Structure 1
Amino acid sequence: MIDKLHYISQQSENGTHLTAIQTALDAGCKWIQLRVKDQPVAKILDCALQINELCATYKAKLIVNDHPEIALKAGTYGLHLGLQDMPITEARKIVGPKMIIGGTANTFQHIQQRVAEGADYIGLGPFRFTKTKQKLSPILGITGYESVISEVRAAGINIPIIAIGGILPEDIVPIMQTGLYGVAVSGAITYAQNPAYTVKAMYEYLNMTLLNEV
Structure 2
Amino acid sequence: MLQFITHPSDKYTIAEEVQMVLEGGCKWIQLRLKDATDEEFRQTALEIIPLCQENEAFLVFEMSVHGVHLGKEDMNPLLARETMGAEAIIGCTANTADDIKKFRGWDVDYVGLGPFRYTTTKSKLSPIIGIEGYKEIVKEVRAADILLPIVAIGGVTIDDIDQLMATGINGVAMSGAILNAPDPVDYTRRSIEKLHEAFAKMKN
Sort the TM-score into its range (normalised by shorter chain): over 0.9
Query: In the alignment, which residue of structure 1 is the partner of 2:7?
Result: 10
Query: In the alignment, which residue of structure 2 is the partner of 1:88?
Result: 77
Query: In the alignment, which residue of structure 1 is the partner of 2:142?
Result: 153
Query: In the alignment, which residue of structure 2 is the partner of 1:207?
Result: 196
Query: In the alignment, which residue of structure 1 is the partner of 2:109?
Result: 120
Q: What are the superposed Cα offsets for residues 169-206 of structure 1, whole Å, 9 maximum, x if unpaired?
A: 00000000000000000011112111222122212221
> Cα 1:15–1:201, aligned 2, differ >3 Å: closer, same or farther?
closer
In 1: Cα distance, 2:128 partner to 2:187 partner: 24
In 2: Cα distance, 1:113 partner to 1:51 partner: 33
Residue 20 (1) aligns with residue 33 (2): no
In 2: Cα distance, 1:38 partner to 1:197 partner: 30
Q: What is the TM-score when the length of structure 2 is the normalising length?
A: 0.95
Of the structure 1 ranges 204-213 and 186-195, higher mean CA displacement relative to structure 2 is found in 204-213
- The alignment's C-alpha RMSD in Å is 1.3
Question: How many residues get paired?
Answer: 203
Picking from 26, 30, 49, the partner of 2:27 is 30
Q: Identity of paired residues, percent?
A: 43
Picking from 121, 124, 130, the partner of 1:135 is 124
- Output the amino acid matched with 2:108: A
Contact 1:7 1:186 in 2 (8 A): yes
Picking from 173, 181, 184, the partner of 2:170 is 181
Task: State the shift of 1:109 in Å.
Answer: 0.8
Contact 1:28 1:199 in 2 (8 A): yes
- Output the amino acid matched with 1:124: L
Residue 146 of structure 1 aligns to a residue whose secondary structure is helix
In 2: Cα distance, 1:14 partner to 1:143 partner: 34
Residue 144 (1) aligns with residue 141 (2): no
Contact 1:24 1:190 in 2 (8 A): no
In 2: Cα distance, 1:16 partner to 1:201 partner: 22
Structure 1 stretches of at least 4 aligned residues deviating more than 4 Å after TM superposition: none
In 1: Cα distance, 2:74 partner to 2:105 partner: 16
Residue 196 (1) aligns with residue 193 (2): no
Q: What are the superposed Cα offsets for residues 110-159 of structure 1, whole Å, 9 maximum, x if unpaired?
A: 10123343210000000000011111000000010001011011101111
Residue 151 of structure 2 aligns to a residue whose secondary structure is strand
- Output the amino acid matched with 2:30: Q
